Every structure is written in structure tokens, then in C-alpha cells.
Amino acid sequence: MTQKIFIGGEWRLGRGDTTVSRFPADGSVNAEFPAASLDDVEDAISAADAAWRTPDWADRQPHQRAEVLYRVSDLIMARQEELARLQTRDNGKPLAETRALVASAAGTARYVAAACETLEGELPTQRNADFMTFSTYEPLGVIAAITPWNSPIASEMQKIAPALAGGNAVILKPAEATPLAALKLAELFEEAGLPKGLLSVLPGRGRIIGDALVRDPRVRKISFTGGTSTGRHLAHIAADKLIGASLELGGKSPTIICEDADLEQAVRGVVYGIFSSGGQACIAGSRLFIHESQYDAVLERLLAVTRDLRVGHPETDGVHIGPLISEAHRDSVAAYVDQARAEGARILTGGQAPSDPALVSGSYYLPTVIDGLKPDSAVCREEIFGPVLVVLPYRDEADLIAQANDSVYGLASGIWTADYRRAWHLARKLEAGTVWINTYKKFSIATPFGGYKESGLGREKGRQGIQAYMQQKSIYLGLDSAPIGWSR
Ligand code: NAD
């Protein structure tokens, strides 16, 4: 049966171009179906614009909106395995990772539901005034949510849940490569009783469907996760429309092993930080800084741990690294490594596709460690979004901070040290939205997440993550019965 898409609460065949979801492990087709057309975008926006204003949603108390999110959270966990497998088919991540992403989506829905139940307006303090003021939080209206392929279900819930909790309607445009988990999420929201029109899922080309969506005057906020160049383009559109945009963008995050670090813990943390998800993570710790006095010893252990990683079929237990999202993406990763070679770098391990005949039909690439590059090489500066770690020595703290911050990005960073005073000091100096100390890639839904510099604008998660989808209205209440103004 041909996959339908979810437009304004109805399951319909898309009227746009054919879209194909492929399993990156062998290129086989998971689904092939018509994506959304511009007419479908129009229908979704009309439905959304009506839906968020209807009393059925606008007048629901926050705890009533929260009920839908609690139910969705339960439904997601009841189908965790099915959703994880679907996402592994869509983007090739190992099952252990997609199971965690599904649990994260359920946790987000639950956290947002609980936070939504306890949202309050504000009563600014005032004494002896002849009026009092309230500040209430109100919805923005129709939200355009646009997501990438690397952690679809988790990043999609991170947008849908707070937007709905804030009383808005959401139109989600998932990445071309990963439409299936997003459509399954729509099914679960429908089953949980979300009123019609509040959520649409429109698979399709970003430049056509995504672009038309964000340009529509009825769309009042863009919530985007993806590459920095796309984010910049969307920021221009938001500026023209004078609407808000939350932008979660790319990174080239530094991780630092200090001389006093627990070497084994640090090396394993660094390896996990770059090579989990095959490096296809915005927060991947893709630049490693090692003190020059320990450079060779740390590198030796790092290479041993990296060579032990298991690259293989993402549905096999115990696999650390699955295929990359597509052949084209693998070619782009390989081109960076070739460029490093041409610049005289040492490719210390990896640097090619695996030779295992069982893996030749998938877009696999070995975990790769490179050193000997100048810090201004494109390989050190640009986001590769693959399993490639560049290693650089540092002399002293001033040199370290200068090198670590010498990037247009500022998403995340990691510090491995036994000295918490030093860790605090370094953390304050690093230009990054998240600093992990003696850990990496850990997330709390209550803790704000977002980037410095070209890694983004705005923060997701936490209670403020819901308010980001609301606008404040200040209401003045006169307390005096006498006429106001000149007569006083
Ligand atoms: P991408 O920017 O190419 O695409 C992201 C989404 O934007 C897709 O849905 C795509 O269809 C859509 N899109 C593309 N052009 C568009 C346009 N002109 N108008 C509207 N929509 C458009 O990114 P990608 O390759 O899917 O994802 C990888 C990137 O995402 C990396 O740079 C990564 O760092 C970033 N990312 C960031 C975070 C974060 O939280 N900061 C998380 C995950 C991924």
C-alpha cells in the first residue's frame, strides 16, 4: 500500500514528486511514495491556522493539552522497538542508538507535558500603583518545524511537543531521507487524541516544500535543525517576515585531554564522542586537542580503542558504527580525507571503506583519525559530519583556548581533567553552548541546548523551551475609579 502523508489531520496521498526512503546498509528501498506538493502545503497551513484558534485547543487548560503529550509518550514507549527499527531502516543508525532516540522522544513528551501543567503567567511586582499588571503567555500560531535526518524522532519531538504545549499548531517537514518515523509519530499523535489540523507532516524537498512553508505569512515561527547554510537562508526569510527563528545548526566541536586526565576514561569518551552515530552528530567532538608532552602516548591508546570499534550492519547487536546516510555523503566524507592526504596529513587509522565483503553494498566508512594538519586546513575547520577525528597538539592553556575557539562554530566541547577548578576555568573560556566535563554527549531534557556563533540561535529544552513557542501579553488592570490623565 502506498504511504500516505498527514495533512491537517487527514491521511492523504501526497500530490508532489516521488520520494524514496532507502536503507543505507544495502540501498534497498524502504518506501517510495508521493511527497507533499505546494497545494498540500497550502492545505496544511490553512488547517493549522484554523486549528490553533479553535476553542478545542486555544481554550484548553495547559494540563488538558498535557494529557495528549502524556498519552503520546506512553504510545511511543509501547512501540519503542517498532519505532527504533523504522528509524534504523531510514538512516542506518545502530539499533542501540535508535532505541535510545525513541526513549528520548518519549521522555521529551513527558517532560514537556509536566512542565506545561505547571506553566504560570507572571504578576510583576508593583506597590501603591493605581493599576496592576499581569503578563500572560500566549501561542504564536502556526509553527514550521524543519528537521535533519540524523536523529529524526528525537529532534522532531523536541519541536512538536513544546510547540503544541504552547498552544500552537505545527507543520513538520522532515528530512528527505527520513520521512517514515515522522509519519509514524503523526499516527501516534492522532491515536493520542490530538485535535485535527494541529499537526501535519509534509515529507518533501527542503528547497521547495520547506521553503514554501516558511515563507507563508501565516507561519509565525521557524524552528529549524540542520546545516548552517540552510539555517542562514531561513534566518533571512524570518528577518523579512519579522518572525522568530530558532536555529540548531552545525558544529566542529573541540575536545580536550588535559595532562591530569584519567587516560582510559578520556580516550574512551573521545572515541564515543566522535564515532557514535558514525560522526553524523551536530555535537560530534571532531577536533581533539592533546598536550604536546603526552601526544604520542594518548594517540597510541586512542588508535587502539578506535581500531577495536565494530563497524557493521546496524541491526546486528554489538555494532558500534553503522553505514553513513548515503553513498553521496560517504563520498563527501572520503573527499575530506583525500584532501587531508593531499595536504600531507597522516591518516593514522581508517581513511577508507571497510573491506568486509558483507558491507560492500552499504555506505560504510571506517573510523578515521588524522593528524599533521595545519589548523587552518578545511579538514580542521569544516563540519565533515562523518567518522573523522582530527588531532592537534597544544602547548599551554593560552594556546589551547586560542585553537579551540578558532572556529566559526560553537556548539559543544569536552574537557577531560581530574582538576575541577581547571575544568571550570576552561569551561568558562570555551565559546560553546554546551561544555561536557569528564563526560560527553549526555543530555538532560531540563537543560537548555543550543549553539554559540554559527552553530545557532535560541535554545531548546527546559521550561524556556516551551516559552520559546509563546509570546508575552501584558495586561493592565485599572484600580482607580477617578478619571485618568490630565484631570489628575
Ligand atoms: P540540511 O540543512 O541540508 O537539511 C535540514 C532540513 O532542512 C531538511 O529537512 C531539508 O529538507 C531542509 N531544507 C533544506 N533546504 C531548505 C530550504 N531552502 N528551505 C527550507 N528547508 C530546507 O541538513 P542535513 O544534511 O539534513 O543535516 C545535517 C546538518 O544538521 C549538520 O550540519 C548538523 O550539524 C545539523 N544538525 C544540528 C543539530 C543541532 O541541534 N544543532 C542537530 C542535528 C543536526
Measured in Å, residue 249 CA sits from the centre of ligand 1 at 7
Which residue out of 108, 146, 223, 234 has the highest number of ligand 1 atoms within 8 Å of its CB and is therefore the one to mutate?
Answer: 146
Q: Is 465 in the pocket of ligand 1 (CB under 6 A)?
A: no
User: Whose grid coordinates read 491537517?
Assistant: 8
Whether residue 190 lies in the annotated active site: no
Measured in Å, residue 148 CA sits from the centre of ligand 1 at 4
Q: Which DSSP letter does residue 105 get?
A: H
Residue 180 CA to residue 311 CA, distance in Å, equals 25
Q: Is 410 in the pocket of ligand 1 (CB under 6 A)?
A: no
Q: Which of 362, 346, 369 is nearest to 274 (CA)?
A: 369
pLDDT recorded at residue 487: 61
Residue 145 CA to residue 417 CA, distance in Å, equals 38
Burial of 168 (0-12, 13-18, 19+ CB in 10 A): buried
Measured in Å, residue 133 CA sits from the centre of ligand 1 at 41
Residue 38 CA to residue 325 CA, distance in Å, equals 27
Residue nearest to atom 10 of ligand 1 (CA): 206
Q: Which three cell numbers stand for residue 130?
A: 493605581
What's the helix, strand, coil split of the chain in %, to 5?
Answer: 40, 20, 35
pLDDT recorded at residue 156: 98
Burial of 397 (0-12, 13-18, 19+ CB in 10 A): middle
Which residues fall within 8 angstroms of residue 24, CB to CB, at 6 or more apart? 91, 92, 322, 323, 324, 325, 326, 362, 363
Give me the domains of the chain, ranges plus CATH numbers: 5-249+455-474 (3.40.605.10), 254-437 (3.40.309.10)
Residue nearest to atom 14 of ligand 1 (CA): 206
Q: Where would I find the beta strands (DSSP E) of 359-485?
A: 368-371, 388-394, 409-410, 412-416, 434-437, 452-453, 456-457, 470-478
Residue nearest to atom 19 of ligand 1 (CA): 211
| Tens digit of each residue's pLDDT, the chain (488 residues) | 799 999 999 999 999 999 999 999 999 999 999 999 999 999 999 999 999 999 888 889 889 999 999 999 999 999 999 999 999 999 999 999 999 999 999 999 999 999 999 888 888 877 778 899 999 999 999 999 999 999 999 999 999 999 999 999 999 999 999 999 999 999 999 999 999 999 999 999 999 999 999 999 999 999 999 999 999 999 999 999 999 999 999 999 999 999 999 999 999 999 999 999 999 999 999 999 999 999 999 999 999 999 999 999 999 999 999 999 999 999 999 999 999 999 999 999 999 999 999 999 999 999 999 999 999 999 999 999 999 999 999 999 999 999 999 999 999 999 999 999 999 999 999 999 999 999 999 999 999 999 999 999 999 999 999 999 999 999 999 999 988 888 65
pLDDT recorded at residue 129: 82
Distances (CA, A) of 121 to 136, 137, 463: 5, 6, 13
Residue 112 CA to residue 117 CA, distance in Å, equals 9
* Contact present, 51 and 57 (Cβ < 8 Å): yes
Residue 150 CA to residue 441 CA, distance in Å, equals 14
Residue 195 CA to residue 198 CA, distance in Å, equals 6
Sequence letter at residue 475: I
* Enclosing H/E stretch for 420: helix 420-429
Ligand 1: atom nearest CA of 205 is: 11
Measured in Å, residue 265 CA sits from the centre of ligand 1 at 32
Residue 161 CA to residue 140 CA, distance in Å, equals 14
Active-site residue, from 97, 156, 176, 248: 248
Ligand 1: atom nearest CA of 174 is: 9
Q: Is 156 in the pocket of ligand 1 (CB under 6 A)?
A: no
pLDDT recorded at residue 1: 76
* Contact present, 160 and 172 (Cβ < 8 Å): yes
Secondary structure class of 160 (helix, strand, coil): helix
Q: Is 210 in the pocket of ligand 1 (CB under 6 A)?
A: yes
pLDDT recorded at residue 488: 55
Residue 199's DSSP bridge partners are: 170
Measured in Å, residue 56 CA sits from the centre of ligand 1 at 33
* Contact present, 254 and 413 (Cβ < 8 Å): yes
* Enclosing H/E stretch for 390: strand 388-394
Residue 275's DSSP bridge partners are: none
Q: Which DSSP letter does residue 31 get?
A: E
Q: Is 448 in the pocket of ligand 1 (CB under 6 A)?
A: no
User: Whose grid coordinates read 555506505?
Assistant: 363
Residue nearest to atom 17 of ligand 1 (CA): 207
pLDDT recorded at residue 125: 74
